[in-house]
Amino acid sequence: MYTAPNQTGSGSKSDEQLPSWDLSDLYPSPDSPELKNDLDRARSKVEIFATNWQGNLENASGQEIAMAIDLYQEVSEILGRIGSYAQLIFATDSTDAKNAQFYQYINEQITSISTKTLFFTLELNRISEESMQEKLENSALLAWKPFLDSIRVFRPYQLSDEVEKVLHEKSVTGRTAWSRLYDETLASMQVTVQDEQVTLGEALNKLSSNERLVRENAAKGLGESFNSNLRLFSLITNTLAKDKHITDEWRKFPRVDSERNCDNMIEDEVVDALVNAVTEDYQRLSHRYFRLKAKWLGLEKLQHWDRNAPLPDDNDQIIPWEKAKEIVHTAYHEFNPEMGDMIKEFLDKPWIDATLRPGKSSGAFAHPTVPEVHPYILLNYHGRNRDVMTLAHELGHGIHQILAADQGYIQSNTPLTLAETASVFGEMLTFQSLLRNQKTPEQRRIMLSRKVEDMLNTVVRQIAFYQFERKVHEARQTNELLPEQIGQFWIETQQASLGPAFEFTPEYQSYWTYIPHFIHSPFYVYAYAFGDCLVNALYKVYQDGHENFQEKYIEMLKAGGTKKHKELLAPFGLDASDPAFWRKGLDVISQFIDELEQA
Number of Cβ within 10 Å of residue 247's Cβ equals 17
CB proximity list for 547: less than 8 A, separation 6 or greater: none
Read off the pLDDT of each residue in 173-178 and give the average, rounded to a whole number.
Answer: 92
pLDDT score of 371 more than 50: yes
Residue 191 to residue 362: CA distance in whole angstroms = 14
Residue 360 to residue 92: CA distance in whole angstroms = 5
Out of 1.20.140.70, 3.40.50.1820, 1.10.357.10, 3.40.50.2000, which CATH number does the structure's domain 23-173 have?
1.20.140.70
Which percentage of the chain shows pLDDT scores above 90? 79
pLDDT score of 15 more than 60: no
pLDDT score of 86 more than 70: yes
Q: What's residue 580's pLDDT?
A: 82
Q: What's residue 577's pLDDT?
A: 79
Residue 476 to residue 237: CA distance in whole angstroms = 10
* Pairing between β-strand 376-378 and β-strand 352-353 as defined by DSSP bridges: parallel
Q: What's residue 4's pLDDT?
A: 46
What dihedral do alpha carbons 343, 348, 350, 351 form, nearest 10°? 0
What is residue 502's three-state secondary structure?
Answer: strand
pLDDT score of 341 more than 50: yes
Tell if the pTM clears 0.85, that is, is over it: no
Q: What is the pLDDT of residues 471-491, one digit of tens each?
A: 999 999 999 999 999 999 999
Distances (CA, A) of 396 to 392, 423, 557: 6, 4, 10
Distances (CA, A) of 531 to 239, 378, 435, 451: 30, 20, 21, 15
Distances (CA, A) of 104 to 83, 89, 90, 99: 10, 12, 10, 9
Whether residue 433 contacts residue 334, with contact meaning beta carbons closer than 8 Å, is answered with yes
Q: What is the pLDDT of residues 151-164, one digit of tens each?
A: 999 999 998 989 99
pLDDT score of 531 more than 80: yes
Q: What is the pLDDT of residues 211-230, one digit of tens each?
A: 999 999 999 999 999 999 99
CB proximity list for 169: less than 8 A, separation 6 or greater: 111, 112, 115
Of 427, 372, 378, 368, which is closest to residue 399 (Cα–Cα)?
368
Q: What's residue 234's pLDDT?
A: 98
Residue 367 to residue 376: CA distance in whole angstroms = 5
Residue 105 to residue 115: CA distance in whole angstroms = 15
Whether residue 319 contacts residue 383, with contact meaning beta carbons closer than 8 Å, is answered with yes
Whether residue 233 contacts residue 472, with contact meaning beta carbons closer than 8 Å, is answered with no
Q: What's residue 11's pLDDT?
A: 39
Number of Cβ within 10 Å of residue 30's Cβ equals 18
Of 134, 35, 123, 23, which is closest to residue 78 (Cα–Cα)?
35
Q: CA 507, 508, 514, 519 torsion: positive or negative?
A: negative
With helix as H, strand as E and coil as C, how does 339-364 read? Answer: HHHHHHHHHHCCCEECCCCCCCCCCC
Q: What is the pLDDT of residues 129-141, one digit of tens each?
A: 999 999 999 999 9
Number of Cβ within 10 Å of residue 59's Cβ equals 9
Domain spans, the chain: 23-173
At 316, is the pLDDT very low, low, confident or very high (cuts 50, 70, 90)?
low
